[in-house]
A and B are shown apart, each in its own frame.
Chain A
Amino acid sequence: MSRRRAGEITRILAVARKDVLVEARSRANFAAVVAFSALVLVLFGFALGPDEAALTQAAAGVLWITVIFSSVLAFQRAYLLELEDGALDALLLYAGDRRSIFFGKVLGGLAFVFAVEIVVVPMAGVLYGLPVLSALGRLLPLLALGTVGIVALGTFYAGMASRVRAREVLLPLLLFPMLAPLVIAAVKGTHVALVGDPIAAGVNWVGLLAGFDAIFLAAAYLLFGAVVED
């Protein structure tokens, strides 16, 4: 009589699949995040006024602000469902590397944020007059890598904050300062891709984002076991 042990890839996919399934079954969270994102885009649009040039100049920044805010809601939700009825303890009791839980949650988070982006990016294109379709080839790697960095770091810090009572306050305080370099690179790169910028165009923003992603993922890989230890 001995319990079996799943391979780490199986565990990663199981956690990701479960998180996606929970979101698909509840739906309310996704709808709320999309509504919130649309509201941010519209409000910034009104605040910047009808000046098309001003809208275009600010568009990349507004887009990433929307992505970050919606991502934070997704991270908090991802751990909240583990805390609802002691599910985190049950999750930690499965034999295997606990870092699989982190990578599973990152995959689940990516699915959620990418789904939000599928709605938000075209919406930003319409509201801010951006050439999203023609710039899609340049935009996609930036969106993908920027999102991976945000989700990796966000998932890590959300895990850290999950056992603290003031987790909703703590998560943005921990996350936003650490995300600043990545977000600056993502905004600059997106601005270059959508509008063009002769000064910033010489920088390899995609490479820079990939570098940040590698650092965030490596740090989380090394530290996540200690984060979930009681």
Chain B
Amino acid sequence: MDLEVAAGESLALAGANGSGKTTLLRVAATLLRPTRGGGEVCGHDLVADADGARAHVGLLAHRSGLYEDLSPYQNLAFASRMLGLGAERRAIDAVLQRVALAAAAHERVRALSSGMRRRLALGRLLLAPPRLLLLDEPFASFDAGGLDLLESVVRETTAAGGSVLVATHDLARAGRVVDRTVWLERGRVVRPPADRRAVADVPRLVGR
């Protein structure tokens, strides 16, 4: 695979289940070490300088990565401290407002709906916007407001010179925000299939 995402570019990764989309995102996020080959994020080697790469990456994964016994505010305060931003109340409140969770700021995350959790997970990335934003099936579980927010975050990231990599089956939705689509099959970049809809709709058909 030879793939480059330019600054200011957003790219969708398409392909059937098991084609390597999530694996590619996890390698780019330094959560998986590549068995062969390598890559760079903002000039930082993913293996030799994984920590340098990590400083520029933000990942919205399948699972929210939140602490269920803590509140949205406490989750964001923890993330803020880990990012070296302190736990500045105004910044956290601003993010909570942006993801429409100000009213639930002190509820337990356990009590939130899946759409609210997704918005909170996205809000964590807004504390310090990454230069490479990795989104793994981002259109699942978001409510309507969350999807609009997600799209605006993608546009803001690329407008600020960042890059976005979206692994998705929902190409119709992704098409609204990405510049181009790359198709994967068994870990390789392939030409787009003749019937794109058939591949893109597999999970939805299975889910019915």
Contacts and interface: CB of A to CB of B under 8 A. Distances in A.
Contacts of B124: 90
Interface stretch (B11-19, B29-37, B173-181): B29-37
A6 B54 CA distance: 13
B65 interface: yes
Contacts of A7: 84
Contact of B82 (A14, A85, A230): A14
Nearest to B87: A14
Contacts of A13: 81
A13 B79 CA distance: 12
Contact of B162 (A1, A10, A81): A1
Interface centre among B52, B70, B82, B85 (most CB of A within 10 A): B82
A3 B55 contact: yes
A1 B160 contact: yes
Interface string A87-98: 101111111110
> Which of the four size classes fits the interface of chain A?
20 to 34
Interface stretch (B92-100, B127-135, B143-151, B196-204): B127-135
Tell me what chain B mostly uses at the interface: helix, strand, loop, or mixed.
Answer: loop
A96 B128 contact: no
A210 B8 CA distance: 54
Interface residues of B, number: 42
Given A89-B61, A95-B55, A14 B67 contact: no
Contacts of B59: 89-90, 93
Contact of A2 (B30, B33, B56): B56
B81 A6 contact: yes
A53 interface: no
B70 A22 contact: yes
19 contacts: A1-B129, A3-B56, A3-B58, A4-B85, A5-B83, A10-B84, A11-B81, A14-B78, A14-B81, A17-B78, A25-B70, A85-B65, A90-B59, A90-B66, A90-B124, A94-B82, A94-B83, A95-B54, A97-B51
Sorted nearest first, the 4 A-B pairs with minimum C-beta distance are A86-B63, A90-B65, A6-B84, A95-B55
